[in-house]
């Protein structure tokens, strides 16, 4: 792995500023950063063969088809996931689709055992939206058991609250943290985007509650933040040779601001990131969890590896 890439990956912890990230890419590569994703050859898709997983199957097929990866369908139980292979073919998967069935009676253990056997670069994890508090308390989900043990990227896929699955993704929303994770979120989003689709980069400027919103909007700090975000998104658009529209809003509440943005510029699906380390050791609820509770849109949560494997 080139030194420049190692430095950029380290910025996930070191908080490298975006204005220092883009010039490095433009100086060295001048094109979409394929070097970030060399050997994106193999995707693991664990399935319980249940309806809520249909969105994850669609996303896995689109990513594998776009980037030329093979897929392994993993099922721990008595069902046969072979029926999903024709669906993946229709979504553009040209490489091999492997089917593995285990009888461990423990999906989490089955996944962890499989990733030790094979060289995967991405885990696509179908997840339920547990809307009732009792469900959240009582169910110890597979993701909680395995996320901190998976040494590569994970996309956790949540269907819409009403179960709806878009027939196409013409408007893909991105909540960009303005770190190196941005590049990965855009990379996944590009694979999902329809031919005439749009990428929408949402950003909410958090105005302290003691300051009237109108005064906050007029402040130099707000105007600078808006300009910097628009410049950053313009840089990403050039880097990925795709148009990304910045959608900016000031609000006294991040959640309320995001709600307003999703209402005024509704996406077919939302991509955002979450730190696995934070999720494992913090009790307070994360932004991604609050969004899953509040909004109906399908969501994909990207979990960055705690220790990135150089691939």
In the predicted model, is pLDDT for residue 165 greater than 90? no
pLDDT at 232: 86
Mean of pLDDT values over 33-52: 81
Q: What is the pLDDT of residue 182?
A: 86
Does any domain span residue 78?
Answer: yes
Q: Which two tokens stand for residue 177?
A: 């943290």
Measured on CA atoms in the order 164, 130, 42, 175, is the torsion positive or negative?
Answer: positive
The pLDDT score that the predictor gives to residue 101 is 97
- Of 20-29, 40-49, 174-183, 300-309, which one has max mean pLDDT? 40-49
What pLDDT sits at residue 173? 96
Is residue 48 very low, low, confident or very high in pLDDT (cuts 50, 70, 90)? very high
SS3 75: strand
Give the position of tokens 């991509």. Answer: 271
The least confident of 22-26, 57-61, 125-129, 173-177 is 22-26
> Per the domain annotation, does 242 fall within a domain?
yes
What is the helix (H) or strand (E) element at residue 21, kind and residue range? helix 18-28
pLDDT in tens, 54-83: 999 999 999 999 999 999 999 999 999 999
Count of CB atoms situated within 10 Å of the CB of 25: 22
Residue 264 domain-assigned (yes or no): yes
Assigned domain for 311 exists: no
Residue 202 pLDDT more than 70? Answer: yes
Question: What's the pLDDT at 74?
Answer: 97
Q: CA 174 to CA 193: how far, in whole Å? A: 12
60-74, 146-160, 197-211, 279-293 — which one is most confidently predicted on average?
Answer: 60-74
pLDDT surpasses 60 at 171: yes
Alpha helices in 95-219 (DSSP H): 107-117, 133-138, 142-146, 181-192, 213-218
The per-residue pLDDT of the chain, averaged, comes to 81
Structural domain of 25 = 3-304
Residue 310: what pLDDT?
34
pLDDT for res 309: 38
pLDDT, position 92: 94
Question: Residue 282: pLDDT above 60?
Answer: no
Band of pLDDT at residue 161, cut at 50, 70 and 90: confident
DSSP assignment of 198-217, as one string?
EEEEEEEEE--TTS-HHHHH
Higher pLDDT pick, 238 / 217: 238
- pLDDT for 137 equals 37
Number of domains in the chain: 1
pLDDT of amino acid 17: 55
Model confidence over 209-233: pLDDT tens digits? 777 767 766 777 788 888 888 888 9
CATH number of the domain that residue 238 is part of: 3.40.50.12370
CA distance 203 to 293: 19
Greatest CA separation for the chain: 62
Residue 132 binned pLDDT confidence (cut-offs 50, 70, 90):
very low
pLDDT tens for each residue of 94-112: 999 999 999 999 999 999 9
Percentage of the residues of the chain whose pLDDT score is greater than 70: 76
């Amino acid at each position: 792995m080139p030194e420049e890439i190692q430095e950029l990956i380290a910025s996930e912890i070191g908080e490298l500023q975006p204005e220092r990230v883009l010039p490095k890419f433009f100086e060295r590569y001048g094109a979409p950063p394929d070097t970030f994703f060399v050997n994106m050859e193999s995707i693991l898709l664990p399935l319980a063969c249940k309806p809520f997983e249909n969105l994850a199957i669609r996303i896995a097929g689109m990513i594998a088809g776009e980037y030329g990866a093979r897929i392994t369908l993993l099922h721990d139980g008595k069902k046969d996931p072979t029926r999903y292979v024709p669906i993946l073919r229709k979504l553009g998967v040209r490489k091999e689709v492997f089917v593995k069935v285990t009888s461990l009676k423990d999906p989490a253990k089955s996944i962890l055992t499989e990733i030790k056997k094979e060289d995967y670069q991405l885990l696509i994890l179908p997840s339920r939206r547990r809307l009732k508090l009792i469900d959240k308390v009582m169910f110890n989900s597979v993701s909680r058991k395995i996320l901190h043990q998976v040494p590569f990227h994970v996309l956790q896929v949540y269907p819409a609250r009403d179960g709806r699955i878009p027939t196409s993704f013409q408007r893909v929303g991105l909540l960009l943290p303005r770190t190196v994770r941005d590049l990965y979120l855009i990379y996944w989003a590009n694979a999902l985007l329809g031919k005439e689709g749009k990428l929408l980069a949402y950003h909410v400027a958090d105005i302290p509650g003691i300051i009237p919103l109108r005064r906050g909007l007029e402040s130099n700090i707000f105007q600078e933040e808006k300009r910097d975000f628009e410049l950053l998104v313009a840089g990403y658009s050039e880097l990925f040779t795709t148009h990304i529209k910045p959608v900016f809003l000031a609000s006294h509440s991040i959640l309320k601001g995001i709600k307003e943005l999703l209402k005024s510029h509704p996406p077919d699906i939302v991509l955002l990131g979450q730190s696995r380390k934070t999720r494992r050791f913090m009790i307070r609820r994360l932004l991604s969890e609050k969004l899953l509770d509040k909004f109906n849109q399908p969501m994909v949560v990207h979990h960055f590896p705690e220790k990135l494997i150089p691939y």
